[in-house]
A and B are shown apart, each in its own frame.
Chain A
Amino acid sequence: MKKHKILSNAYTALVMAFLYAPIIVLMIFSFNDSKSRNTWSGFTLRWYQDLFHDEEIIQALMLTLVVAVVSAVFATLLGTAAAIGLNKMNKRLRSVFMTLNYLPMVNPDIITGVSLMLLFTYLRLKFGVTTLILAHITFSVPYVVLNVMPKLRSMDKHIYEAALDLGCSPLTAYFKVVIPEIMPGIMSGFLMALTFSMDDFVVSYFVNGSSSQTLPLVVYSQTRRRVTPKINALSTIIFIVVLGILVINNIYSARKEQQLLAGNRAKKEGH
């Protein structure tokens, strides 16, 4: 039994090493005192300082955030409403529509990208922030629908009816009863939309304008030449922030679980 444990721990460690090797390399070279990507020439923090004076990077970061927030808000509104409506729809129509909804998820990104590029060219839209936001909304909504739908399904239908019986108008009942009930689904859909938008490269690559470069697009154009260590510095910061959030969240939920366990035990002993 013990041998099993050592073996499985070693295996886990090995896969983790594979997953984290490039990330650690990236982080180490954000402290490197030269622009080389593979020769170490001493420790420095200057890339972290320079980062905040680099117009191109700061602008790209701002654009990435604006596109992510705007598209995620729109996608959440559109997707939540769609889930509520689809839930009431007859089965045939709904399944047809859900298939259409899943298409951007199962299609390769490059197909989504070029198909939207064809559409925007056809409509003679100017490639730029607008096309980026339209494209990001399009690939985000399916995930919102996917997150909200199960919450609606598992919701007790009688709560809504009870609200109506107690004198709520259908609209008030929705805002006061249904929306709070499905809020966790809406939130996770929103967060997914936000992160996918911030991280997207392939779709953005086909629908961006020359003056509207998001962060992943700037990174891509730099990988064609040489990535400045400033980008390493920025990603290190983002990575540490995300790590912090996840660790706190993890500890918090572990505490909650323990409290729940302790509560159950106390109840049992009480009986």
Chain B
Amino acid sequence: MKNSIADNNKSKFQKILGTAPAFPYMAWAIVFIAIPLGLIVYFALTDSAGSFTIDNIARAGEHMSVLFRSIKLAAIATALCVVIAYPLAYIISRKQGFRRNTLVMLCMLPMWMNFLLRTYAWMTILENNGLINRLLMLLGFEPIRMINTQGAVILGMVYNYIPFMILPLYTIMSKIGNDVIEAAQDLGANSLEVIARVVLPLSLPGISSGITMVFVPSVSTFVISKMLGGGTNQLIGDIIDLQFLGNTYNPNLGSAISLVLMVVVLLCMSIMGDTEVETMGGRIR
């Protein structure tokens, strides 16, 4: 009897010892992940003297129109990403070997050029005397105002984050075997029916992770709106940036707005269901 208790204790001890390698990171995650998020909540609910207030949350309400604009533009960009990426992911997933790998590589490669620079290059293309307008004038058309519009901001979001839609879609579609599709064809489905009734239902998890991975960085961006939207199309990220590093320094209000943004993101994710974190190989950034 005594022996077995000792054995039991020993195995318990060994079990704890087995988990010991995780302890340093557990401590790290508490200090650098949990506590900072706690600080956001703390700052959001206190004033600059440190006493409790809901003033900040109320004042965050003043920026609701900006929040709605962010959600609207990010939603449009996400929808466009689905529409553009879906056929491409399907095409790539039906290719084999070298061609398939090359196409996947080509979709990821642009991310190797700093995204600030790529967005800056869009300024060159879209400007009033930029490349598109010069081409138009050369052909005898009137120039179009493209930069500093909401359209330009949406374009920037689609451009920067579409690889995060292509990747999860491709990953899930490449798991759909050709035999499944052939079976559907043998049973009399035309290509539209194959897509609608076989490929689409099987690829839904990919769509929902893609939506999260595009929507979250789009709704929280402040760089794209600054560069392509001019001063007039501020997004919620710009407002947060201003509270922390801008001239309206107010970390309490900034934290309150951050809290609102986090709620929006959490809502989006709960609507989308469990995002397959495994498909987040290319990260959200």
| Contact present for B28 and A138 (CB under 8 Å) | yes
Cβ 8 A contact of B101, one of A18, A109, A146, A250: A250
- Mask: chain B, 154-172; 1 = CB below 8 Å from A; 0 = not: 0000010010000000000
CB-nearest residue of chain A to B31 = A119
- The answer to whether A25 and B22 have CB atoms under 8 Å apart is no
In the assembled complex, B187 has its CB within 8 A of some CB on chain A: no
| A97 CA / B30 CA spacing, docked (Å) | 10
- With A19-B107, A22-B118, A26-B121 in contact, is A12–B277 under 8 Å at CB? no
Shortest beta-carbon distance, B246 to chain A, in Å? 12
Beyond A12-B88, A38-B127, whether A201 also contacts B122 by CB under 8 A is: no
Bound CA–CA A84/B92 (angstroms): 36
Tell me if B76 counts as interface (CB < 8 A to partner A).
Answer: no
User: Are the CB atoms of B88 and A232 closer together than 8 Å?
Assistant: no
What are the residues of chain A within 8 A of B237 when measuring CB–CB? 108, 110
How far does the Cβ of B175 sit from chain A's closest Cβ, in whole Å?
Answer: 16
Interfacial chain B residues near A22, Cβ < 8 Å: 118-119, 121-122, 124-125, 159
A175 within 8 A of B: no
Main secondary structure of the interface of A (DSSP, over half): helix
In the complex, whether A155 has a CB less than 8 A from a CB of chain B is no
**B36 and A220: CB pair below 8 A?**
no
Is there an interface contact between B29 and A101, defined as CB atoms closer than 8 Å? yes
Task: Return chain B residues, CB-CB under 8 Å to A227.
Answer: 117, 120
Interface contact A19-B102, CB-CB below 8 Å: no
* B87 pairs with A106, CB closer than 8 A: no
Count B interface residues, CB 8 Å.
89
Chain A residues with Cβ below 8 Å from B88 are 11-12, 15
Check if A8 is an interface residue, CB within 8 A of chain B: yes
B216 within 8 A of A: yes
Binds B, one of A43-51, A65-73, A239-247, A262-270: A239-247
Cross-chain contact of A254 among B97, B110, B111, B129 (Cβ < 8 A): B97
0/1 string, A201-245, CB within 8 A of B gives 1:
110011000000001100110010001000110010011001100
Chain B residues lying within 8 Å of A215, measured Cβ to Cβ, are: 114
Q: In chain B, what residue has the closest Cβ to A199? A: B114
Q: Are B33 and A100 in contact (CB under 8 A)?
A: yes
B125–A85 CB distance below 8 A: no
Is A81 interfacial (CB 8 A cutoff)?
yes
Can you add 20 more A-B contacts, CB < 8 Å, to A108-B284, A119-B31? A19-B162, A25-B121, A25-B131, A82-B26, A85-B23, A89-B19, A100-B30, A108-B219, A111-B262, A114-B251, A115-B36, A115-B39, A143-B283, A146-B278, A202-B285, A219-B120, A227-B117, A232-B117, A238-B112, A250-B101
Given A105-B277, A119-B39, A238-B113: A111 in contact with B258 (beta carbons within 8 A): yes
Complex CA gap A35/B40 in Å reads 43
